[in-house]
Structures are given as structure tokens and as C-alpha cells.
Structure 1
Amino acid sequence: MDTLPDLRGFTLTFSLAETCGALAVILTVAWVGHFRNGFAWQERPSVQFNWHPVLMVTGLVYLYANSALLYRVFRSERKRKLKLAHAALNLTSLLLVMIGLKAVFDSHDLASPPIPNLYSLHSWVGLTAVLMFAMQWVIGFVSFLVPGMSGAIRARYLPWHQFFGLTIFVTACGAAIMGLLEKAIFTLTKKNDLPPYASLPPEAYLINFIGLLLAVFCCLVVFLLSHTGYRRQPQPEDEVLLRDTVID
């Protein structure tokens, strides 16, 4: 039996989530632009790194979350349209993530001397999230958008698709917060940069605030996606398509 819709609090929660997510993206751009010398590519490897936090927060956190929230916001749209929009937004997110990975690997490999890759827990957790994201997109595309797949198979796989999608999102948020902490430790605790017992510099406050925004955004998105009353209700055309086993 389908859960009856209960949209109380949805608009407020969604608005707060979008505000926190958008602010996290904007402040990440402001952080690297103001405190970390802006943006460059391979001619300045240390500055090329700055694309990494911006693209990861934008792609793997903000856009990825919104691709799932499409089903909560556009509740009356045909499912076929939502699936195409979901896949397209996730593909855009994945492309941004690939560029972000290229930036961080280049910043290590082209440094003088080179910096080892994948040496931190942040990098391990982050790469795990990216690999899961890529596999999730491919399997989801084959399962839900390629014609001819059995409707029964799609119905059985859907809960796993939703579970892994939420798992990837939470893992990505954790990796992003760990990355902010790692960057703060490496750049703000050098000799004469942060004397013992000194007050935090402005950059540290900004980094911490971005981390808090990401944590709040993560919690709000998880709530929106797990609240049964906010789920999209099946439409008549969904049932027809399911019986035809062309799309569930």
C-alpha cells in the first residue's frame, strides 16, 4: 500500500536545503578565489588544485542531491521526463567530478617535487564515492532507461538504486568535509601562519562555515529523501508503462 502524501514542512525544508547547498558552492568559489589565488590549469599546478573543491562540492554534492530531489519537487510530472532529467543531471555531475579529479591529480603530479596521490583518508573515501557514483549511473541507465528491461527486475532493483544513491551522497558529503579539514590543516598550520593559542584567521572561519553548511545540507537532503510522505505518488501513465514493461 502506498503511503499517503503528507507535504507539511516540505517547502520550508527544501528551501533551507537549497539555501545551504547553494551557499556552500558560492562560498567555496569565494574561498579559493580570495584566499587561494583563484583558478588556473596545468601552467600553475598548485592553483589548478582549486578546481577540485569547487567542482566536487558542485557536482558530487549539490547537483547530485538535486538530481534525486527532482522526484520530490516535480511530483506531478511524468516519470519518463523525470528519469531523463535525473540521468542528465547526474551525467553533468559526473563530468564535473571527472574534471575535479583531473585537477587534483595534475596538481600532485606536476608539482615540484611531485606529491604522492591517494595518501589520505579523504582521498580514499572520495574516490570510493566517485567510483560508486559512476557504477550507479551506468547500472541505473541500463536498468531504467534502456527499453526492454523487465518491469519486475526494475521493481526489484529500485530499492537498491535508492539505497546506494543515498549512501553515495552521504559518503560524498563526508569526503568533502574531510577535504576541507585536510586543506585547512596543510595550509593554515604552517610555521608563523597560526601561532599557538592564536585566534583563528578569517580563512579558517570560512572553511569551517562551509563545512557546517555541507553537514546541514546533507542532513536536510537525507530527511527530504527518506520522509515517506514526500515521495512521488504513482501516476496513471506509470502503471500503463509498467504493464508494458517498457519503463517502470
Structure 2
Amino acid sequence: MTSIIVFYLLYLLSLCLGLACVVCVCVWSGHWRGGFAWDGSALEFNWHPVLMVTGLVVVYGVGAVVYRIPLTWGQNKLPWKLLHAALMLIALILSIVGLCAVFDYHNINKISNVYSLHSWIGITATAVFAMQWVCGAAGFLLPCSPVTLRKVLKPVHVWLGGIILLLSIAACISGINEKLFFALKGNATGTQPYSSLPPEAVLGNTLGVLIVAFGLVVLKILSNHEWQRPDSRPEGLAYTPLLQEENE
């Protein structure tokens, strides 16, 4: 019982931290960076941090732990499989649109693409995430997937899930730092230098800390074997795909 209470406390903490991340990145882009548009200007770029933090970190993290909720144990797996897959698909779509925003902005303004470590990590995270979603959908949801393949795929799927979250966190915090260095130069635009820690820098740094905290809580939930969904099926049916799903 104590373990279940700890789970729900951590789960509630993850939701609060995730919400705080979304609020912070929206306030940063909407207030400090001038708002949003899709016209090739810097306002289009502002969609990039909002969509990447919301999709690649927060929605992804929530989707990763939704299958672990003890309240769902003993219930039909089908709705939770679909919810997990749907949340991951939403996270992937948001991430791809976020990448489109930054590429479109760079191309229109003749700025080089994919030259920074931040961009390398971010594109890698999104690419691996896309591969993970396609393989997961094919392996766990399609009835034609062999049982032996699903048994091999499951530990790899879980391991890659944690790796993607770590890559996403690294991409976001490096991107936040990069943006603050570019935006807060203390030049003729009237901005204070990053080194003087103006309010915008405090908000950006706070966002980075919240993202790291959210990721650590999610990884803690995923790494605890006591919170893995118990399997009540016979051995041969442990990895039954979507269209063969039965009520438990």
C-alpha cells in the first residue's frame, strides 16, 4: 500500500511539473519573445520551444507512465494501450511541427540548419521517437506480429523509451541555453546580457530546471519494477496484440 501511495504522489508531482513546464515555455515565448505567428519571422520560431517542450518532453512523459497507473491493473488493457499509443502519437506530431517551424524560419531568413549540438540531439531524439512509435504500433498492436518478436521487442521498447526521454531533456535544456545566449547579448536592442541574469534569463533557467525535474520523476516511475503492470494472462498470451485483446 505504501508503494502505491508513493506512486500516486510521484505521478501527481510529474503532472504538476509538466504543467509548470508548459506554462513557463508559453509565457517565455508569448510574453518575452513577442508571441506567435507562422510567417517566417521570429514569431514563427517561437512555436519551436513551445511545441518541443510540450510534445517531446511533457506529453511524451505523461504517455510513458500512463500504462503504469495501479488503478488500471486488472482492467482491460485495450483502452490503456490505445491511450498510450495516442499520447505518443500526439507528442510525435507536436515535435515534428516544432521542427518544421524552426526549419521554415531558418530557410526563409537564410540561416544555416543543423549546425549546433542542440539540433543534432533534438533531431536524433525525434527520429528515434518516430522509429520507436512505428515499431511499437507494428509490434504490439497488429495481430500479425509474432509472439517471439513481441517478447524480444518489449524490453527494447522500454529501454528506448527512457533513452528518448533523456535525449529530449538534453535537447531542450541545450536549446534553452542557446536561445538565451543569442537573445540576451546586452546590445543595441536594449536587452540585458545573460550574465547579469535578467528576469527573462531567470525564467529560461527555471524552465530548464523544471524540465530536468519532470524527467527525473518520470524516469523514477519507469525504473521501479514494483510499478510495472502485473500480467494476469497465461504465459503464451502475455504479449497479445490489439485485435486479439481480451478482457482481463
Q: Distance in 2 between matches of 1:5 and 1:203?
A: 41
Match of 1:161 among 157, 160, 172: 157
Identity of aligned residues (%): 41
**CA RMSD, 1 decimal:** 2.2
Opposite residue 41 of structure 1, the aligned amino acid is W
1:194-225 Cα offsets, whole Å, 9 max, x none, are 3596x311100000000000010011100000
Match of 1:223 among 213, 220, 227: 220
Structure 2 length normalisation: TM-score? 0.90
1:36-60 Cα offsets, whole Å, 9 max, x none, are 1100002x42110000000001111
The alignment partner of 1:234 has SS state of: coil
- Which residue pairs with 1:202 in the alignment? 199
- Which residue pairs with 2:94 in the alignment? 96
Match of 2:54 among 55, 58, 76: 58
- Which residue pairs with 1:180 in the alignment? 176
- Which residue pairs with 2:36 in the alignment? 39
Tell me, yes or no, if the aligned pair for 1:61 and 1:173 is still in contact at 8 Å.
Answer: yes
Q: Relative to 1, partners in 2 of residues 1:244 and 1:105: Cα closer, same or farther, differing over 3 Å?
A: closer
Superposed, 1:49-88 pairs within 5 Å as 49-73=45-69, 74-76=71-73, 77-88=75-86
Opposite residue 194 of structure 1, the aligned amino acid is Q
Tell me, yes or no, if the aligned pair for 1:170 and 1:218 is still in contact at 8 Å.
Answer: yes
Tell me, yes or no, if the aligned pair for 1:145 and 1:247 is still in contact at 8 Å.
Answer: no
Q: Relative to 1, partners in 2 of residues 1:115 and 1:226: Cα closer, same or farther, differing over 3 Å?
A: same
Structure 1's unaligned 5+ residue stretches are: none
Structure 1 length normalisation: TM-score? 0.90
Opposite residue 182 of structure 2, the aligned amino acid is F
Tell me, yes or no, if the aligned pair for 1:123 and 1:175 is still in contact at 8 Å.
Answer: yes
Q: Relative to 1, partners in 2 of residues 1:86 and 1:195: Cα closer, same or farther, differing over 3 Å?
A: closer
User: Following TM superposition, where does structure 1 have runs of at least 4 consecutive aligned residues deviating by more than 6 angstroms?
Assistant: none
Q: Distance in 2 between matches of 1:244 and 1:231?
A: 17
Q: Relative to 1, partners in 2 of residues 1:78 and 1:119: Cα closer, same or farther, differing over 3 Å?
A: same
Tell me, yes or no, if the aligned pair for 1:59 and 1:94 is still in contact at 8 Å.
Answer: yes
Tell me, yes or no, if the aligned pair for 2:231 and 2:238 is still in contact at 8 Å.
Answer: no
Tell me, yes or no, if the aligned pair for 2:21 and 2:211 is still in contact at 8 Å.
Answer: yes
